[in-house]
Structure 1
Amino acid sequence: MKRSTSDRPLSVAVMMGVSVLTMSMTGVLASAAPSAPTEQNLADYIAAGRTGTPVAGSGSAGSSGSACTSGSGAGSGNGSGNCYGGSGSSSGSSGGYASDTVGYGPPMTSWLAAFGYGLLHPNAAPPGSNDWRCKPTTQHPRPVVMVHGTWMNAYNGFAYMGQPIKDAGFCTFTFNYGRANLLEGGGLGSVLPGVMGTGYIEDSAKQLATFVDRVLAATGASEVDLVAHSQGGSMSNYYTKFEGGAAKVENLITYGATHHGTSLDGIGALGRAINNFGIDILGFIEILVGHAGIQQTIGSDFVNKLNANGDTVAGVDYTVVGTRYDEITNPYALTFLQPGPGATVQNITLQDGCEQDLSDHLTILYSPRALSIALRALDPVGHPTLECAFNPWVIGGGGSL
């Protein structure tokens, strides 16, 4: 009860994986520098250059969506089809869609292996997810919706966590959102079939709203719990604030979420400051990384709107997990939230009490400790203890190499 208040050449996939690996290694090394900027330093710097003019683009809304084939999806017994579009956006090129998964991929303990599999099998579901016949129990009355991050997909986001959450007694669901091609502003990465979460975040939040409503209708539940990574966290937060999600979400559990944006080791913050002085450098970068990437930098219109009236909404319980080795959401404390009226927030640094967990932004979803945090938030009585295990950065290993 809510409280009142298309196959691609393998060489391309390998090159993409190497590029991500290189970026991750560079970010981790940079994160060890002693002079990392603070959130306030960055905020003050960006504010000094603000002109008050929008920076997302000035063009009219583009196409309303991509061509998308229909189908039943894996186990989708509700007959709703597997493709649904976004609503467009007020500026720049727009479009894209969300889709259901088709079939299942294998369980994975390594993020790097799962990422590669997800590139070659972009529509696969992670193990344990999307049994549309599943009905919540009295002990676990809320289905769990798992939300992937930028440049990832449902499979490689939750190939490790999906089955254990299902085995703990929860109905688990996930989907692919933000599927925008290059012409729709998805960035160069979107040419790879497994790269998703690149379209406008506002559109993705509407896609999440549609999916949650489908899950509620299929399961008969009145609320869901959300487990979300990176953009998936901030997008889910936007859903609770602006797309009616507050009445439908009990727990929001996020990992490395860009709730307050990111500096990308200072690069994003510098680009935002330059843009605010009238030089449209972010417009060029947006062509490379996509709409969602630019929207997640500190000081963006999206981030400002997301937090304008406080970090939280009444009636939602937040579990917010950050890692000291996060090379994407940095400084990593930007992920943490301050509770407003009617909300509870638990901010957790992954390494507190478990120094051997070296998870970075991408491998955090392959950490046994991160999994145990999710299970405790979902069912504190049944899963009160947090696990501690080594989890290597960049590769990820589910507790081992």
Structure 2
Amino acid sequence: MTAVLVGVVAAALPAAAAEEQPLPVPYGFATAVVHAATSPYADPPGANDWSCRPSAEHPEPVVLVHGLLGSKTTNWRTMSPLLANNGYCVFALTYGVPPGARYPQDQVGGLTRMEDSARELDAFVSRVLEATGAEKVDLVGHSEGTLMPQYWLQFLGGAAKTDDYVAVTPLYDGTLAAPLPTKELAEALGVREPASAVAGVVCGSCPQFISGSPYLRRMHEAGPKVDGVTYTTVMTRYDELVVPYTSGRLDGATNIVVQDGCAVDLSDHLSIITSRRTGQIILNALDPGAARPLPCEPVLPALGSRVLPLA
């Protein structure tokens, strides 16, 4: 009998050890796109374990908010397992999918008006707080996921439920409707309003991104930085969608440009959310007491560092 018990325990040990292994953390946006195509609706690794209970070290669960045309599946293949490996309860939603949409796997999100998406976020955060027993969440957003939650924070009571907010490629001042060198030139060419009118037919949120839109004017009237929330913004000089990239600067926030101190980082709007440097910035922002030096390595636009011969 003793021999049988020893054998059973020994057989179970490898499985237990395997469960304790950290989740793989891929660094490259292409990996996320492939995964979304092959595993539609899938939660990113490490996310949406509704039995997770926050630790004393990390008492706030982290809610990941994707960008325009993204989803929980495409946006968070890197940061979700990274955060989970570091002891966080991680949750991610797909929002802004129009009713009855028939996009590939219905996984193209962020298309409805940001006010409507903010209500989806509110319901999701309420579910997270109820499941985890936490009093507040931390937000990590990318692109639209930095701008849409502002409505929730400002007008739907989200500020009382939020501690830290890390915004990657934010655009608090909006973006130009086209990659033109100046706002004045865009207006002179009549780019803003025609582009907004066309985009709004199929994408309710798209006109809201444009500098000077009613959505942005309302946000600025209320003040984009909400009291009681600790903001960190993460920008890249090579952002081709947030023009100018300095639209992401926020008074009273910790504003970081990934190229400062790391010229070989060529992150663009997509690859910035899958880089080691951004990952460490997020970890440092969520837990300043355990902050570590930022890594610096070559990162390519769109592709990231996955295609490079890095350890």
Question: Shorter-chain TM-score category?
Answer: 0.7 to 0.9
Greater Rg, structure 1 or structure 2? 2
CA distance in 2, matches of 1:232, 1:315: 19
CA distance in 2, matches of 1:268, 1:293: 19
Q: CA deviation at 1:305?
A: 1.0
Q: Relative to 1, partners in 2 of residues 1:212 and 1:399: Cα closer, same or farther, differing over 3 Å?
A: farther
Q: CA deviation at 1:120?
A: 4.5
The question of 1:224 aligning with 2:137 is answered yes
Equivalent residue number for residue 365 of structure 1: 273
Letter paired with 1:335: G
Match of 2:258 among 331, 334, 350: 350
Q: Relative to 1, partners in 2 of residues 1:107 and 1:179: Cα closer, same or farther, differing over 3 Å?
A: farther
Letter paired with 1:353: G
Equivalent residue number for residue 292 of structure 1: 205
In the TM superposition, 1:310-325 aligns within 5 A as: 310-325=223-238
Compute the RMSD of aligned alpha carbons: 2.4
Q: CA deviation at 1:380?
A: 1.4
Are the equivalent residues in 2 in contact too, given 1:144–1:172 (CA < 8 A)?
A: yes
1:202-243 Cα offsets, whole Å, 9 max, x none, are 111111011111100000000000000000001112211111
Q: Secondary structure at the match of 1:364?
A: helix
Match of 1:274 among 187, 190, 194: 190
Letter paired with 1:228: G
Q: Relative to 1, partners in 2 of residues 1:380 and 1:281: Cα closer, same or farther, differing over 3 Å?
A: closer
Q: Secondary structure at the match of 1:112?
A: helix
Match of 2:33 among 115, 125, 135: 115
Q: CA deviation at 1:117?
A: 2.7
CA distance in 1, matches of 2:112, 2:92: 18
CA distance in 2, matches of 1:143, 1:209: 15
Are the equivalent residues in 2 in contact too, given 1:268–1:298 (CA < 8 A)?
A: no
Q: Secondary structure at the match of 1:369?
A: helix
Gaps of 5+ in 2: 1-22
Equivalent residue number for residue 136 of structure 1: 54
Equivalent residue number for residue 93 of structure 1: none
Match of 1:332 among 230, 242, 245: 245
Equivalent residue number for residue 84 of structure 1: none
Q: CA deviation at 1:108?
A: 3.3
Deviating above 4 A after TM superposition, structure 1's stretches of 4 or more consecutive aligned residues are: none
1:31-50 Cα offsets, whole Å, 9 max, x none, are xxxxxxxxxxxxxxxxxxxx
Letter paired with 2:72: A
TM-score for both structures, normalised by structure 2: 0.84
The question of 1:304 aligning with 2:217 is answered yes
1:158-185 Cα offsets, whole Å, 9 max, x none, are 101111111111100001000116x88x
Q: CA deviation at 1:370?
A: 0.3
Letter paired with 1:381: G
- Count, aligned residues: 283
1:250-278 Cα offsets, whole Å, 9 max, x none, are 101011122221114139963798388xx
Q: Secondary structure at the match of 1:177?
A: coil
Percent of aligned pairs with the same amino acid: 36
Letter paired with 1:266: L
Equivalent residue number for residue 11 of structure 2: none
CA distance in 2, matches of 1:329, 1:235: 15
Higher fraction of helix: 2
Q: Relative to 1, partners in 2 of residues 1:261 and 1:155: Cα closer, same or farther, differing over 3 Å?
A: same
Q: Relative to 1, partners in 2 of residues 1:130 and 1:281: Cα closer, same or farther, differing over 3 Å?
A: closer
TM-score for both structures, normalised by structure 1: 0.66
Are the equivalent residues in 2 in contact too, given 1:272–1:300 (CA < 8 A)?
A: no
CA distance in 2, matches of 1:121, 1:318: 33
